[in-house]
Structure 1
Amino acid sequence: MGSFSIWHWLIVLMYIVVIQWPLWRIAKKAGYPGALSLLLLIPLVNFVAIWAFAIVKWPVEKRAD
């Protein structure tokens, strides 16, 4: 077992572009800091974060009221 090959890094880069970047943008549009989307990288915490994100009232909704 050595260091990661170029294929490993390409898969990580694809994950960031295809999954993490849109989640960052969604969090920002909802009124949360974009870095909140990084919680989705942590196993089990991601389930709690998704449920909390779905249930709580978003800051954007609070400003509209």
Structure 2
Amino acid sequence: MQMLWFLVLSALTIVPLFKLLPHYRVNPYWALTALIPFGLIVLLWVMAARAED
């Protein structure tokens, strides 16, 4: 059951990242780093840094 929750929550974060990352000039496949601990935080940091350009 825990694996099912992990897959659902992962899909709910990765799918929007696939759509958002190209707007920040980042390869959308980097969205898969959200699966590792602190990967989402790093991606959000990169997106914020690229938004200032």
Query: TM-score scaled by structure 2?
Result: 0.57
Residue 22 to residue 10, structure 1, CA distance change in 2 (3 Å) = same
Instruction: For structure 1, list consecutive stretches of 5 or more residues without a partner in the other structure.
Output: 1-6
RMSD of the alignment, in Å? 2.7
Query: Which has the higher Rg, Structure 1 or Structure 2?
Result: 1
Q: Which has the higher helix share?
A: 2
Instruction: For structure 2, list consecutive stretches of 5 or more residues without a partner in the other structure.
Output: none
Query: Which deviations, in whole Å up to 9, do the C-alpha atoms of 1:6-58 show, x marking residues without a partner?
Result: x2342133113321111121113433211111222322444333222201258
Q: Distance in 2 between matches of 1:16 and 1:56?
A: 24
8 A contact 2:10–2:35 mirrored in 1: no
Residue 46 to residue 26, structure 1, CA distance change in 2 (3 Å) = same
Q: Distance in 1 between matches of 2:17 and 2:37?
A: 16
AA of the residue aligned to 1:23: L
Greater relative contact order (Cα 8 A, min sep 6): structure 1 or 2?
A: 2
2:26 is the alignment partner of 1:39: no
Identity %: 21
